[in-house]
Each structure stands twice: as C-alpha cells, then as structure tokens.
Amino acid sequence: MFFSIVSFVFLPIRLLLQFWRLVLFRFRNGNHFFLEVPSSFSYERKSWFVKMFVSGGEEPFFVDFLLWMRALSKIPGLQKVSFLFEAPEYGYGETWNLCKSIQALNEKGITTAGYSLGGGTKSLLLLSYCKERYSSSASEFFPTLPSAEAYFFGDAAKKVGVGVETYASGAFKSFGETFQRSSFSAPARKNLENLLKDQREFLKESFASTSGLSLSVLERPILSSESLLEGNFLTALLEEDEFRENYLYEDYLNEKEGKPEKPNYKKLADKGLRLHSKLVRFSAISKSYPIVAILPVQGNILPDLGREEEFRSRQVSYRYYQNLLKELREDPKVAAVVLEMNSPGGSALVSELIYREIRKLSEKKPVFTYVLNVAASGGYYLACGGEEIHASPYSVVGSIGAVMLRFDLKGLYDKLGVKKERIAFYPYRDILSEYGKLGPKSAAFLKKEVSRSRDLFYSRVTSARKTTKEELESKWGEGRVFLGTRFLQGGYLDSCSSFLETLDRIKEKLDLTKVEVRYLPGTYSWKDLIQELKPSLSLRTLGLPDFDSLEKLRDEGPHYFSELAEKLAKR
C-alpha cells in the first residue's frame, strides 16, 4: 500500500520518464536483432571469491534467456533475428526449449536465421528450426544418433576377486549389472532399446517437420558444410565475421558486384529491447506482482544428513533444500514454485525427506515440476511431491524402484594376502562388512528393505498420479526408463511442453495476467571451486569404477538411481 501511494505521488515525474523512454525507443527501435546463444547456461551464481579467481563472465540463467527470447517476439516492427549458435554443451531439454522459442518467432512472422561453425546433432537441430541456415565453407558437423555402448566389469571383477551382490526391486533396475555381468540382461536391454528407438523417432519428426533433414544423413559421422549445402539444408556458406558484421544486409553481403550496398535493416540494440520492456511494464500505480519462484534441482541426491546448510554445486543435499523450501513456504510474496528438475536420483532416505518438505510447501501454495533433461528414480520421486509434472518431450524419466549394491572384497583380499577376523559379530552385522558373502538371513533382510523402499516409492507415485500399484508395476515401474512423450501416454506427466508454456499454464491456473518470475540459483562458492580443482587422477577420470564411492553406496542404503538415464540425457 505504501509503495502504491508513493508511486501515485510521483506519478507526474514517472509519466515524464515514460514519455522520454517512448521518445528514445522511437529512435533506438530497429527491425533486426543479433543474438548470440552461448554454449552453456548457468544454474548457479558465482560467489565474489570465485569471480576473483575465475576468468570470464557468468553464463546467463536458462530461464532468463528464454524470457529474453520471448520479449523479442513482442517488439513492434521486428522483422528478423539472427542467431549465432556456439556448439551446445547443454542437454536436449535446453536445445528443444530453444527450438520452441525460435519456432514462436517464426509463427509471429519474424524471419529467423542461424549460424553455426560446427557441433553435433544439437547444433543441427537448432539450425533446423531457423528459416535461414548458414555455416562456414570449412565447417564440419559430427552428429551422433541415440545409441549406447556400456561398460561391463563383471568378468574383470571376478578376475581380481571382487564379488558384487545386487538387491533390486525389479528386472529393469539394472544399475548393478554393470558390475555383475558381461552384458545386459534381456529385460534391461529391451527397455534401453525402446528408449533409444523413441529418442530416434522424436529426432526424426523434429528434423522432418522443419528442415526435412533425414536421419540417414545424420548416420554419417562427419558432415561437411558443402554436403549440407548440396542437400539444401544450408542456405549459403559464409564466414562467421560476415554473418556477425553484415547482418543488417540482405544475404549478409555488404556489397554486390563490387559496389557497396545500403543496409536493408535497422539494428535493434540491447538497450532498445530493455526500453521496450520498461514501456510495456509501466502502470500508473506501481505495484508488486505475485512471484513464481523457479528452484533448480540439479544433480545426484546426496545421502548427507549433516548440519551443513550450504549449496553444493550439481548436488542435491537435504539441509540446503529443507531450509530453502521452508523460506518459500513462509514467504507471502511467492504465489507458486516450479522445481526445475535435472536429477538422476540418489539416496532413498533423502529423496523421501525432501519429498516431505515439498509436500509441506504444496499444502501452502502450488508446486509444479518441470523436467529439463532427466527425472529418474529419486528425481521423479521429488516431482511427485508437487501438483503437476511437466517435461520436455526428450527428457528421460521413470526408473521407479529401488536398488542396493554390496561389494564382497574377500577374494581380492585373499589374493593380496590380507585377512580379517570377525569378533563379537551379531545377527546382520555382516551386512556392514565387505569381507565374505552374506548369510541367508542377512540377504533376506536386505531384500525386504529394498522392497519396503520400493513400496514407499510406489505409494508416492500412485498417490500423485491417481493410478494403482498393479498398473504402475506391470507397465511403468520396476525400474523402467522412458522418454517424456512415452511417459505422458501413461499419465505420469501432465504435459510435454516448453518451460514458457508451463509458466503460461501456471499463470492461467492462478488466474493471473502478470507474475514476477524469480530464479533461485545456489551460490557456487570457494568450496565447490576447490573440489573441482583437486589435482588427482581418480579411477572415475579413467572411466573405471571408483571403489571408494562404491563403499559409500553400500553404506547409504537403498538407492533410487539411474546413471544410465543421466548419460542418455546428455548424449
């Protein structure tokens, strides 16, 4: 109320400023905008300490970038947008959302042109959605279609005397097969084949509906720009500086037949876009709008239950999210919360604890989930705590179930001449030891624990999605993973849509015309930086199993985890 009175008192001055913005916009307004799309987006904010020691500026937040692209479509008189794409390091979820934003510009009658020096399938997909497509005559693209080539360490483990016991809640919860077998089991292989098939079909439809590029062309490991030009995918070949410097000219040529050309377009600068944004947001009486908070949930769900409350980069820790969700619950300005999900899962216990915090929040205000690339196992578990689950169609979702691994190192110890002697062992104490196989009672106990974790997971899913345990287990559970479009058919998603379409749906449900979208990134601190700069060459760096981490897996209890899903989402 106070701010409304102040804004009314200063209304004459504010109207004068608005008139001045209008005058400036008339001079700065143009009809062609040049936009560089970075190779990566940020989901965390660097602390001042990190900024001091790390060169280069921060990448934009993905949500902000999408909103920026939407603002372009509302500029009066805008005729063309030229995109300079850096080779994407982000996933298909981000790629598809960018493609949808480009498509929205096309549907507004705005010409879109894209330029890429190279990259893979994602670079070609971004170009495919543009009306005009350019590259250098020296450029090459290296597409890869959905496929898998997995490591299996079962035989190697036997040779060195390492035994692996897996307790899984279903035939498709195949995480342990990597360490037990020399190939996929039949159910796991079939599930993976179906996922890859759906991914290929989605890519096929995306290219066919835009540029007409066929998957048979993308099967070639190297595509030269000349071959893409001959196949009518590319509009023309240009050097990057020509595209960048001559974008105000037709065909990006500032001279024809040796004669200078006059610009065909007028430049729309960043300042012009900001001026327009301020013009459209102006109201006679200033008021704050309800906040839709976007909370990123990125990375593996950690088993850490300590008191540390700080953000941890690309990891989901209980205390951090417990406090943050509580703050959102108690903030009267926050009208709704969106969980920006990108997690393959992790600890079963922490998944349940954070789920309960999300449920507490959802009792106070609507909570929605948007899956960018992956919400498998614990990631989907958390999503079930909200009101609705939306996803990009290329997201990898599911893996509903539980798995526990136990490593038996007695054979390895014997080879090394190491012995262990058990003293005062009690029933089930052998579960906590890596020395020898489990007894029948202990093995039965672990199977029961995994079943209990699975049943709790199933109950969370059936409650959220209004289905039965029998339906879930027979078609969608037991650790199966799916593409977003397939999961939608089963009723386990509310839509396969873009992030901006999800925000529009939220505004509609809240019956609001305007909201303030506020992104809530964690702070990338000196601890995260030091963790990444550790000068060590670990087994994980070599692509081999890290036995320290495997020991932790044993101690953490049942896991809702799909490492395979995470890798496929980044492919």
**DSSP structure string for 6-33:** HHHHTHHHHHHHHHHHHHHHHHH--SEE
CB atoms within 10 A of CB 354: 24
Domains within the chain, CATH numbers bracketed: 31-143+220-281 (3.90.226.10), 291-406+447-526 (3.90.226.10)
Residue labelled with tokens 């262990």: 420
Token code pair at residue 274: 């900001």
One-letter amino acid at 389 equals I
Where are the extended beta strands (E) located within 210-308?
A: 223-224, 236-237, 255-256, 259-260, 291-298, 300-301
Contacts of 291 (CB under 8 A, 6+ apart): 331, 333, 334, 335, 515, 516, 517, 518
pLDDT digits (tens, 9 = 90+) for 403-444: 888 999 999 999 999 999 999 999 999 999 999 999 999 999
d(CA 163, CA 499): 45
Residue labelled with tokens 């195949």: 174
Token code pair at residue 20: 């001045």
d(CA 401, CA 416): 37
Contacts of 313 (CB under 8 A, 6+ apart): 44, 299, 522, 524, 528, 531, 532
d(CA 556, CA 405): 10
Helices (H), 224-341: 225-230, 240-245, 270-281, 318-330
Picking from 457, 417, 560, 440, the residue whose alpha carbon sits closest to that of residue 165 is: 440
Q: How far is CA 569 from CA 45, 308, 465, in A?
A: 24, 30, 24
176 dihedral zone (left: phi>0; alpha: psi -120 to 50; beta)? alpha
Q: Give the pLDDT of the chain (571 residues) as one tens digit per residue.
A: 554 555 555 556 655 665 555 555 455 567 888 999 999 998 877 666 556 666 556 788 899 899 989 988 888 888 999 999 999 999 999 999 999 999 999 999 999 999 999 999 999 999 999 999 999 999 999 999 999 999 999 999 999 999 999 888 888 888 788 888 899 999 999 999 999 999 999 999 999 999 999 999 999 999 999 999 999 999 999 999 999 999 888 888 877 655 567 788 877 766 655 655 654 555 655 667 899 999 999 999 988 776 666 666 678 889 999 999 999 999 999 999 999 999 999 999 999 999 999 999 999 999 999 999 999 999 999 999 999 999 999 999 999 999 888 999 999 999 999 999 999 999 999 999 999 999 999 999 999 999 999 999 999 999 999 999 999 999 999 999 999 999 999 999 999 999 999 999 999 999 988 899 999 887 665 555 555 555 443 333 334 444 344 344 444 455 444 443 344 444 4
